[in-house]
Chain A
Amino acid sequence: MEWRSKFAIGGVVLYLVSTVFITYLAFDGRIALQTWNALFWLIILFASMHAIMKSFIQESENRQLYYYMLASGKEVIVSKILYNSLLMVVLSLTGLLLFIAFMGNPLQTLTVFLINMLLGVVGFAVVLTLISAIASKAKNNFTLMAVLGFPLVLPLLLLLIRVSNAGLAGAPLAEAATDMLIILLLIFIAFTLSMVLFPYIWRE
């Protein structure tokens, strides 16, 4: 049902391409590992904000009413989260490819970085989906989405940057395992909370 707004996804992909290109131009292609990492996560974070914001805000009232008749609140939030996670996985992989193409590939071992990235974007999707549902109910919801979302994503982001820094430095998987477990735990908690809390936003 989300394929109907295909142009929105196109917009986010274009956003990714242009930000990567701008960083490429700005940095002239020579950057240190840490900068590479920080830039990569910043771009992914903003892209995910953009992508997930669309999931509730762009829907008309009528269509929401239609969903309301078809499915329960739990079903809606779960499907939205799953869809957003999938979308983010695809987007982040595209982003990674683009980034490597333009900015060079400093990755020595791919596993740690890749697993961490996928976990991270799924985490973004889970946390931000509920926020986007809240923001969609309010006025000037684009600002609100950023204001509400950033502090909640920040802890996740700090963890992710730490792990991927380790991954870039070529750390083995075992070393990053505890941090990844915490990320998983965060995702799990956010997911359960979304399921419990969403029906309260939904019924109207």
Chain B
Amino acid sequence: MHAIKNNWWKIAGIALVVYVIAGGLLFEVPDLPVLRESIRNIYFHVGMWFGMIFILFMSVVFSLRYLARSRPEDDLRALAAVKVGLLFGLLGLLTGMLWARFTWGDYWVNDPKLNGAAVGMLIYLAYIVLRSSLEDPEKRARLAAVYSVFAFVLFFVFIMILPRTASVSIHPGVDGNPALATGDLAPEMRWVFYPAMLGWFIMSWWLYRLFYRMSRIEIKIREIRENQNNQI
């Protein structure tokens, strides 16, 4: 009983994602020109980006908390969240590229939104590089947190403002958040779309917790080894 009580949200997440995969692939979708059946990708592609933004936002929250309280756990949490964010971002890029191939005819087009996505990936890869080039854990945590906050705010401004002012963008969602505006999505698709978003949020949170606990266990193991070496 205890396990179910604590882990109900994971079960809910699995159920939602299974439902989304089944429903997303099987349910009726409107037959639109050009898009055709590829519209089903919306449940996965958009879900990946929402999940990424959500988990990166959490990462910045942890970074800020680290700067405020200087507790090493917060740094580990921020790092774990960035890793999940990168994974989701990569999947978002892949699903997006596949979609672009079938609707726009090419894997990559020069478009403000796509460039924004690429910049985001570069920023967080740079974050990983920054971490690996610093050895002192306390210093590493502090500098990484500063960079993460600085970069995230600029990145956010970039993806929120720039695509809206650009004169041409073939990526949908120029005036608002794609697929959230009520007129955008066919009613039968909402039955899958909203659960999909929730499901991917839960998945990203769960993955983040796994990464975080893995890194804590690694640190524990290292400490134990060092203690053993000292005793010998």
Interface residue ranges, A against B (CB under 8 Å): 127, 130-131, 134, 137-140, 144, 147-148, 150-152, 154-155, 158-159, 178-179, 182, 185-186, 189-190, 193-194, 197, 200-201, 204
> Which residues of B sit under 8 angstroms from A201, Cβ to Cβ?
142-143, 146
Nearest Cβ on chain A to B169's Cβ, whole angstroms = 13
Tell yes or no: B80 within 8 A of A by CB.
Answer: no
Cβ-closest chain A residue relative to B136: A137
Docked-complex contact A151 and B151, CB < 8 angstroms: yes
- Closest B residue to A159 using CB positions: B162
A138 touches B119 (CB 8 A): no
Q: Which residues of A contact B158 (CB under 8 A)?
A: 155
Are B143 and A138 neighbours in the complex by a CB distance under 8 Å? Answer: yes
Q: Are A189 and B145 in contact (CB under 8 A)?
A: no
Give every chain A residue within 8 A of B115 (Cβ-Cβ): 154, 158
Q: Could you tell me if A155 and B123 are in contact, using CB atoms closer than 8 angstroms?
A: no
A151 engages B133 (CB within 8 Å): no
Size bracket, chain B contacts:
20 to 34
Docked complex Cα distance between A91 and B81 (Å):
40
CB distance from A19 to the nearest CB of B (A): 24
Is A189 in contact with B142, judged by CB distance below 8 angstroms? Answer: no
Q: Which residue of B112, B134, B162 contacts A137 across the interface (Cβ within 8 Å)? A: B134
Q: Please tell me if the beta carbons of B122 and A151 are within 8 angstroms of each other in the complex.
A: yes
| B191 part of interface (Cβ distance < 8 Å) | no
A-B contact pairs, 26 of them (CB 8 A): A134-B147, A137-B134, A138-B143, A139-B133, A139-B134, A144-B129, A144-B133, A147-B129, A147-B130, A148-B130, A151-B122, A152-B154, A154-B119, A155-B116, A155-B154, A178-B165, A179-B165, A182-B162, A185-B157, A193-B150, A194-B150, A197-B146, A197-B149, A200-B67, A200-B142, A201-B143
> Bound complex: CA of A150 vs CA of B139, how far in Å?
23
Contacts of A138 in B (CB 8 A): 130, 133-134, 143
* Cα A178 to Cα B134 with chains together (Å): 40
Instruction: Give chain B interface residues in 113-152, CB to chain A under 8 Å.
Output: 115-116, 119, 122-123, 126, 129-130, 133-135, 139, 142-143, 145-147, 149-151
Task: Verify if B186 is at the interface (C-beta below 8 Å from A).
Answer: no
CB of B153 closer than 8 Å to a CB of A: yes
Residue of B nearest to A146 (CB): B126
In the complex the two chains form, what is the Cα distance from A194 to B147 in whole Å? 10
Most buried by A among B142, B154, B162: B154
Q: Is the CB of B146 within 8 A of A200?
A: yes
Q: Which residue of B lies closest to A141 (CB)?
A: B133
- The answer to the question of B161 belonging to the interface, with a C-beta cut-off of 8 Å to chain A, is yes
Chain B residues with CB below 8 A from A204, complex form: 139
**Contact (A189, B146) CB under 8 Å given A137-B134, A137-B139, A139-B133:** no
Given contacts A144-B129, A185-B157, contact A155 B119 (CB under 8 A): yes
Q: Are B154 and A127 in contact (CB under 8 A)?
A: yes
Q: Cβ of A150 and Cβ of B122 under 8 Å apart?
A: yes
Q: Are B150's CB and A130's CB within 8 A?
A: yes
Known contacts: A137-B134, A186-B154, A189-B154. The answer to whether A148 contacts B147 by CB under 8 A is yes
Partner of B126, one of A137, A140, A151, A178: A151
A41 to chain B, nearest CB (A): 16
> A-B pairs with the 9 shortest C-beta distances?
A151-B122, A155-B158, A151-B123, A138-B133, A197-B146, A147-B126, A148-B126, A151-B119, A138-B134
